[in-house]
Amino acid sequence: MNVPQGKSNGEIDRPARRVGRPTTTVLTRSLIAEAALRLLDESGADGFTMSRLAQALRVRPSALYNHVDGKEDVIAGVRELISDRIDVSAFATEPWDKAMQQWAYSYRVAFATHPPTIALLATLPVRGARRTLRMYDTVVAAMVRAGWPEEEVLSTIVAVESFILGSALDAVAPGDMFDPAGEEARVPSFASAYAARAAAIGATPPADGAFAIGLHAILDGLRARFGEITAGHSEGRFGPGGKAAKAPTSA
Amino acid sequence: MNVPQGKSNGEIDRPARRVGRPTTTVLTRSLIAEAALRLLDESGADGFTMSRLAQALRVRPSALYNHVDGKEDVIAGVRELISDRIDVSAFATEPWDKAMQQWAYSYRVAFATHPPTIALLATLPVRGARRTLRMYDTVVAAMVRAGWPEEEVLSTIVAVESFILGSALDAVAPGDMFDPAGEEARVPSFASAYAARAAAIGATPPADGAFAIGLHAILDGLRARFGEITAGHSEGRFGPGGKAAKAPTSA
DNA sequence: ACCTGAACACCGTTCAAGT
DNA sequence: ACCTGAACACCGTTCAAGT
């Protein structure tokens, strides 16, 4: 068990590597990121250690440090892998609200495909997020083009994203987290609503319903706001500046 | 530095305690939770270890295990401390939408007062959340009383909560996380919107604006949905069951 | 009942030695 | 340039010994 590589662990058998630079490349930053994502999916966030990652790559833990800055950097690599799968293409063809809805669902799916990463990525601040920046640029450009005031777009996007992230965290929480079994007398309204929901949704995950309701509501609210703005008297509701919304100037 | 208690560490001087049961109570579950919250505020989530917690309580780490199940249980205690400060009183007196708004702001403040706890509590599933259940019961009861269909309330509440939690995570992220400095050419729309936002909000934290916009939008959307429901033809938009909304029956 | 002290099985990270 | 192997300074948790 404390022998680092063995025939018994489902790994390919091979002779142990000796000290010194290997003759063929065994590690790269992206190989590490991919192995990390696989390890996360298999063993969860708790089982995700540098040792286990090294083991999966048939290497000693210290070898990883030739390619990444540390564990946080590995996680940053995983983030890139996942955010590459978020689809912003709808912003090129659809109206802003429909595009945002497709974006939100794609965002959710990208996370949901790898549940253990959600808490990890939610928690760890983004570093060197070049690709994430590109994604934002696409969304911002489309919103401004549609007529959203430039000083309000970012906050609007962040608001939607916050909802998506919060929903992803909710989706990953154990389903029976709030099962009121045995407490019906203490929390009668809750228990009754819990039973009513269970009866209504059947086998679909509860988190899906909350996501649909919330996304629909937030987009509805944003559409109303957009209507106010484009109706003409577009004094910002937020921010002390009170700057009038500018006409779209960029892109 | 490796002497566990010393005169040099800002702690009260006192003779070392000997082995054996202490004559006066030195630890309780709630003393541990309070010390944990203090430690979190002072040293952040990374500095929050059982050793440091024990040190703050002038005790050996193993002593903690007489009162809590482990680190996760300590965090559960911290959660109770914080969620006790979330104010649901508005649901007793205000219309559901205004109450929900006050609840959301109170929720946000409770977290924002202790930033390092946000990631910790967002990530860790709730265990034995008796008090949290009580909070939900209050909210559910008020919503049903107002006329929300019972099978939809829970998802609606969870949606709002997801937004609040996501926003809290956003608020705790480093402010310059997406500063496009030096990348203006690569992401021109984003850079322009970033500058416009900065000019508009002045010194207020960007996360505050996103929270205000998002909460307003989601409540706007929920009001619209509520209007549809109470207008009569209240077939649920969600869930395959297609059950007609029931008249409020409980509390 | 509830503390200390010692021990266990881990962590992430650094760095010299080796090719 | 890039691996191994050894070492460092931690972790969280368990448990016997002691009062």
- pLDDT confidence band for B181 (50 / 70 / 90): confident
The identity of residue A185, as a single letter, is A
Mean pLDDT per segment of 10 residues, for chain A of length 251 residues?
34 59 85 98 96 98 98 95 94 98 97 94 74 90 98 97 95 83 93 96 94 98 96 51 38 34
Res B228: pLDDT: 94
pLDDT number for residue A232? 66
Residue A20, token pair as written in the block: 């010194």
Let me know: does A154 contact B197? Beta carbons within 8 Å. yes
Q: What is the DSSP string of B106-140?
A: HHHHHHHTSHHHHHHHHHSPP-S-HHHHHHHHHHH
* More confident of the two residues B18 and A229: A229
Task: Find which nucleotide's C1' atom is closest to A71's CA.
Answer: C12
Distances in whole angstroms, Cα of residue A178 to Cα of each of A174, B88, B128, B130, B136: 9, 18, 9, 9, 10
Contact A150 B196 (CB under 8 A): yes
A119 touches chain B (CB under 8 A): yes
Tell me which DSSP letter residue B235 carries: B
Task: Count CB neighbours of A9 within 10 A.
Answer: 11
Using a CB–CB cutoff of 8 Å, tell me whether A244 touches chain B.
no
Give the pLDDT band of residue B5 (cuts 50, 70, 90).
very low
Confidence (pLDDT) at A239: 39
Q: Which of B238, B246, B249 to mutate to test the interface with A (most CBs of A within 10 A)?
A: B238
Q: Which residues sit opposite A235 in a β-bridge? A: A244
- What is the tens place of the pLDDT at every residue in B36-80? 999 999 999 999 999 999 999 999 999 999 999 999 999 999 999
pLDDT digits (tens, 9 = 90+) for A168-213: 999 998 777 788 888 899 999 999 999 999 999 999 999 999 999 9
Nearest Cα residue in chain B from A242: B200
Residue range B142-171, pLDDT digits in tens: 999 999 999 999 999 999 999 999 999 999
Return mean pLDDT, chain B: 86
Q: Which residues of A touch B125 (CB under 8 A)?
A: 173-174, 177
Of B144, B153, B166, the CB nearest to A162: B166
For A9, list phi and psi in degrees, rounded to 5: -105, 20
pLDDT of the residue at A243: 38
Residue B96 has pLDDT above 90, yes or no: yes
Instruction: Name the minimum distance, in Å, from the CA of A119 to any CA of chain B.
Output: 5
Q: Identify the pLDDT of residue A15.
A: 59
Strand C nearby residues, CB < 7 A: A 1-2, 18-21, 48-52, 61-62, 65, 70-72; B 16-22, 25-27, 58-63, 66-67
Contact (Cβ atoms closer than 8 angstroms) between residue B146 and residue B242: no
Q: B82 pLDDT exceeds 90?
A: yes
- Percent of chain B residues past pLDDT 90, beyond the cut: 69
Any atom of strand D under 7 A from CB of A59?
A: yes
Global pTM reads 0.87
The string of pLDDT tens digits covering residues B196-237 is 999 999 999 999 999 999 999 999 999 999 999 998 644 444
Question: Which residues from chain A sit within 8 angstroms of residue B219, using beta carbons?
Answer: 217, 221
